[in-house]
Amino acid sequence: MGVIILAAEETQFILPHADELIWGSIAFVLLFVALSKFAFPKLKATLAARTERIRGQLESAEKSKTEADAVLEQYRAQLADARNEANRIIEEAKRTAESVRRDLVVKAEQEAAEIVTRARAEVGSERDRAMAELRSSVASLTINVAERVIGRELQNDASQRAFVDQTIAELSRIGQN
């Protein structure tokens, strides 16, 4: 440390010689003129071109952002339209299904009514046929019973039939009351 302190005490300001100062100043001026004439205009043009390029890129980016926003809005609108269309189709399908269901119920009720009507008609015709057979059987039995009771045959077949029909008619009236 002692050496450093001694060196600091012995140094004084170092000034260049006048001729060095003149030649250095002349070189500086020449260098500055050369730079001003050749380098600075190119540097300024390069900086201006770079500034314009950056400004153009910023404008292009802003334009792209605006277009992207427009496309996004268009996409959202199409998505909303698609959702609305899907909801409309679903509602229409529900209405169609309900209509088909109602039609099927009406057809089923009509078929059931037709089946009941046919069954009633068949039952009625079977009843009438059974009644006719019963009348015929009753007539034959009545004649047989009458022959046995009376002990003789009735002489006229037509009179037998008339008598039986009259008896059946009377029995029918009594049965209906």
The mean pLDDT value for 26-47 works out to 93
Q: How confident is the model at residue 149 (pLDDT cuts 50, 70, 90)?
A: low
Q: How confident is the model at residue 10 (pLDDT cuts 50, 70, 90)?
A: low
Tokens of 113: 């009514």
Within a domain: 75: yes
Residue 173 is given by DSSP the state H
Dihedrals phi, psi of 158, to nearest 5 degrees = -65, -40
**Cα–Cα–Cα angle for 44, 46, 47, rounded to 5 degrees:** 65
Within a domain: 105: yes
Most trustworthy range by pLDDT among 60-69, 122-131, 144-153: 60-69
Between 136 and 109, residue with greater pLDDT: 109
Within a domain: 9: no
The number of domains in the chain is 1
The mean pLDDT value for 54-78 works out to 95
Domain of 168, in residue numbers: 18-176
Between 130 and 151, residue with greater pLDDT: 130
